[in-house]
Amino acid sequence: MADSARDDVLSFLQRAGLGAKDIVLQTLSGGVSADIWHVTSGDRDFVVKRAVPQLRVAQEWKAPLSRNRSEVDWLNEARHIVPEAVPQVLACDDKLNMFAMSYYPPDLYPLWKRELREGRADPIVAHAVGAIAARIHNATAFSDTIARRFATDDAFLSLRVDPYLYATASRHADLAEPLRAIGRDILATKRALVHGDLSPKNILVGPQSPILLDAECAWYGEPAFDIAFCLNHLFLKCVWVPEAARRFIACADTLTAAYLDAITFEPAADIAHRIARILPGLMLARIDGKSPVEYITDETDKARVRIVSRNLLRNEARTLTTIKTEFASEFAA
């Protein structure tokens, strides 16, 4: 850790009243968009997170540091709704773009992505994630107060719509307009509080409940994005761990059903239609956008995902069922 970063963390801890004589900082790995430290301060364990201006990907991808505050606001809001599923914010410093939150030991709270990598696709976890997302969306739907607090359209554009859909459109000229139309419609849809990065890499599997992390993309907008984003990761895991593909698709079904059964702010069929519209665009984006998934490296596998996602994008009548059927026929036969 650079001395300047350590000094910033120590300064933050002292001002926040979280400092002690014996402070141990351990850098945690895996942060694409932030520096993250596990802090032991006296008899306390917690995490400090700081957003970085340039995301750690191959292409240039800058994002506003204000997303640090957006994440804190999302955590505080969501904790009122699903306290068992969200870390507690302990302190925040907007000048340093840092905040401290609860720490969850990995032996008790394994990362869902790691569980999936080992082929452990538990439908109970998938159901809980879908139900938690529904509770957050239901509680914040059509709220003028939430809409004002999370009017983060510019950040969501730079963090999600542009690097995923618009960047992918630039590489697929024949599908550029459908991809850009999906992006425009996402930005224009204002329904509920969106996490924006609902992915297995940001979900811990706790003994009582999944724990949702990393809400830097928090935004008042299109809740279908959250579900499409998570389903996309479950589908793509079929390429990563082919022997567990059928279990991953079963988890996707379970998550979808739990979510659609629980939402109350609009007809389930309406949001299911929008999820199906967004999903193939995200699928293609994780191959050819600014943030390709790191676990699909074989060019043949990439080509197979492109074929499936491009065919789905051409099918304007696609549904979640047709998406599952086409993906499963290629990757879970």
Half-sphere exposure of 115 (CA within 13 A, CB side): 27
303 and 166 assigned to the same domain:
yes
Q: Domain of 16: which CATH number? A: 3.30.200.20
Flag whether 107 is in a domain: no
98 and 170 assigned to the same domain:
no
63 and 131 assigned to the same domain:
no
Residue 28's pLDDT is what? 81
94 and 122 assigned to the same domain:
no
Residue 107's pLDDT is what? 95
| Domain final residue, candidates 72, 102, 132 | 102
* Regions of the chain where pLDDT drops below 50: 1
Closest CA to 46 of 12, 85, 83: 12
| Domain final residue, candidates 73, 102, 131 | 102
Flag whether 198 is in a domain: yes
25-29, long-range: CB within 8 Å, 24+ apart, which pairs?
A: 25/1, 27/1
Closest CA to 210 of 110, 311, 105: 110
Flag whether 291 is in a domain: yes
Residue 32's pLDDT is what? 65
Structural domain that includes position 65 = 3-102
Residue 16's pLDDT is what? 81
Q: Domain of 214: which CATH number? A: 3.90.1200.10
Flag whether 178 is in a domain: yes
Residue 109's pLDDT is what? 97
195 and 259 assigned to the same domain:
yes
Flag whether 238 is in a domain: yes
Sorted by sequence, the CB contacts under 8 Å of residue 58 that are 6+ apart come out as none
215 and 289 assigned to the same domain:
yes
DSSP state of 90: E
Number of domains making up the chain: 2
72 and 167 assigned to the same domain:
no
94 and 118 assigned to the same domain:
no
78 and 130 assigned to the same domain:
no
Placement of tokens 């930005």 in the chain: 187
pTM: 0.94
